[in-house]
Amino acid sequence: MKKRMLAILMSAVMVAVMAAGCGSKGSGSEDKDMYTIGISQFAEHGSLDNCREGFLEGLKEEGIEEGKNLKVEYKNSASDQGTAAQIAQGFVSDRVDMICAIATPSAQAAFNAAMDSEIPVIYTAITDPVAAELATEDGESVGNITGTSDMLPVEEQLKMIRAILPDAKTIGILYTTSEANSESAIKVYEKYAKDYGFEIKTSGISTTADIPLAAESLMDKVDCLTNLTDNTVVSSLPTILEKANEKKIPVFGSEIEQVKLGCLGAEGLDFVDLGKQTGKMAAQVLKGEKEASEIKYETISKSYLYLNTKTAENLGITLPEELKNEAKEVFDEIDTK
């Protein structure tokens, strides 16, 4: 009888030890069988799509792959800040493991929605996280949030514009007044413009409906336009290009996808690379290696030159051979998709 009771007692102890061991192993996020990430993208256009693609690639390189140990809930707010807030609140209600916010309005909405939860937020495609109040002046996080910045290589862009348009005096910039990113980028343009003999003229818009009239008015005052990574404006790029082509006004982009659509040129970042960098940061958080609040936001410093010879031909502009030789890619057609 005593032997039987001892055997039962030992079995109970072994079960308890095994249960405790299983419980401790499963409590860390690094041992999860499946992660769920809610991706909130503010607008649908090439650079943000590339960020999303790169983000998933970066996670995959770190062993977190959609269809294996990753479930992705993707939603797009179509440049509407109210919708971005609803998407973020929905992800919090669904108790996802992480929110990936692509572009400033989505990041701000996600941070506000997840503030009282334990859900980390990883952002990308934000020009100035400090101006967006998502980071401190020294790059530290303001909460359970971190990510990557797509700060524009403004001086390189101005050098390119001057090389292509030696007689130009004024550059026009369309921007959304509610985007902290855009106002920050304009300040950088204004800081360096005089060094290259330019004056910056701006026109602010609130919604996409404002763009046709604002663009037409601005084109009457400038020699060319340059785009920021302003999501509302970039989403309406075909409309802007149509009006610019009618007036023979060159439009310069801020990344490769805009040049494919018909911008004359761009000194821009590789947004797939930016997304990959973000995905690797996200993997650290998901695996429990670091808290999002412990990671300073990161930037990508390398930029590339892209040119469109078909646009140059349509505008009657001869692109310098030196620039064409330096370009990472030169397009001889315009993507009309």
What's the mean pLDDT in 129-137? 94
**Partners of residue 225 on adjacent β-strands:** 172, 251
On whether the CB atoms of residues 136 and 144 are closer than 8 A, the answer is: no
CA distance 187 to 32: 45
CA distance 152 to 252: 13
Q: What is the pLDDT of residue 337?
A: 66
Instruction: For 215-247, write each residue's pLDDT tens digit.
Output: 999 999 999 999 998 989 999 999 999 999 999
Q: What is the pLDDT of residue 336?
A: 77
Cβ neighbors of 9 (< 8 A, separation 6 or more) are none
In this structure, the number of other CB atoms found within 10 A of the CB of residue 328 comes to 12
Query: Domains in the chain, please, with CATH?
Result: 34-150+271-299 (3.40.50.2300), 154-268+303-331 (3.40.50.2300)
CA distance 222 to 236: 19
**Encoding tokens for residue 251?**
């439009």
Based on DSSP, count helices (H) and strands (E) in the chain, helices before strands: 13, 13
CA distance 277 to 78: 25
Instruction: For 278-319, write each residue's pLDDT tens digit.
Output: 999 999 999 999 999 999 999 987 899 999 999 999 999 999
Characterize 52-87 residue by residue with b for buried, 16 or more Cβ atoms within 10 angstroms of its Cβ, and e for exposed. Answer: bebbbbbbbebebeeeeebebeebbbebbbebbbbb
**Encoding tokens for residue 184?**
């920050």
Instruction: For 1-14, write each residue's pLDDT tens digit.
Output: 444 443 433 444 34
Instruction: For 80-98, write each residue's pLDDT tens digit.
Output: 999 999 999 999 999 999 9
Q: Pseudo-torsion of CA 114, 116, 117, 122, nearest 10°?
A: 30
Q: What is the pLDDT of residue 31?
A: 52
Q: What is the pLDDT of residue 206?
A: 93
